[in-house]
A and B are shown apart, each in its own frame.
Chain A
Amino acid sequence: DVQLVESGGGLVKPGGSLRLSCAASGFTFRSYSMNWVRQAPGKGLEWVASITTSGTYTYYADSVKGRFTISRDNAKDSLYLQMNILRAEDTAMYYCARDYNNYDVLDAYDIWGQGTMVTVSS
């Protein structure tokens, strides 16, 4: 089965850091661009960051630029999101998602993980 499983969420104080992981299985991970999308409680979806297949190119939402870093380890079939200087407004469910096509360009997201919850609170 094609699957993405996130981990690493939790409760962190404002200004703190957290590293999310996303383990991929059932497909050739290195062939797909990957993404992080978040959803605050009761709110809509917000694109956070994307990374191309080799990791050469990364893209960030303005709201996280300079604080978050997306990376991947194709040897481990894993995607990461390093989150620093966390704020209350970063509180959300964080999903990793796969591009629908393996074209290394902007795309829809066809496979999503179950999400990992990040809560930023003192």
Chain B
Amino acid sequence: EVVMTQSPATLSLSPGERATLSCRASQSVNSNLAWYQQKPGQAPRLLIYSASTRVTGISARFSGSGAGTEFTLTIASLQSEDFVVYFCQHYNTWPPAFGPGTKVDIK
């Protein structure tokens, strides 16, 4: 089965800065990769699917890239509401799996 890892575990940045979150798969998942945002006490929210396709209604400051085993979520200019946790998930083969998450906090 495919194991997902994310780095860094915590990313400390200031509002307005650019955030770069990494996700790695233990074997190729093609472009079958999603990114979720989770705010405290809430369910996850889908941001990106197929590695780079933004869900309708998600701000253009969120972008995804990558294929195979290396993926990146970029937040162009951090807003106050972006300082939360982000998970990647592959859905290429059974079982699908999530990464451990990256917490973006205020520096």
Q: Which residues from chain A sit less than 8 Å from chain B, CB to CB? A: 37, 44-47, 50, 59, 61-62, 95, 100, 106-110, 112-115
Contact = CB atoms under 8 A, between A and B. Distances in A.
Size bin of chain B's contact surface? 20 to 34
Interface stretch (B11-19, B65-73, B87-95): B87-95
Given A44-B101, A46-B98, A100-B49, A107 B43 contact: no
Nearest to B42: A114
Contacts of A95: 43-44
B45 interface: yes
B34 interface: yes
Interface string B78-107: 000000000101011111111111000000
Given A106-B32, A106-B91, A106-B93, A44 B46 contact: no
A108 B43 contact: no
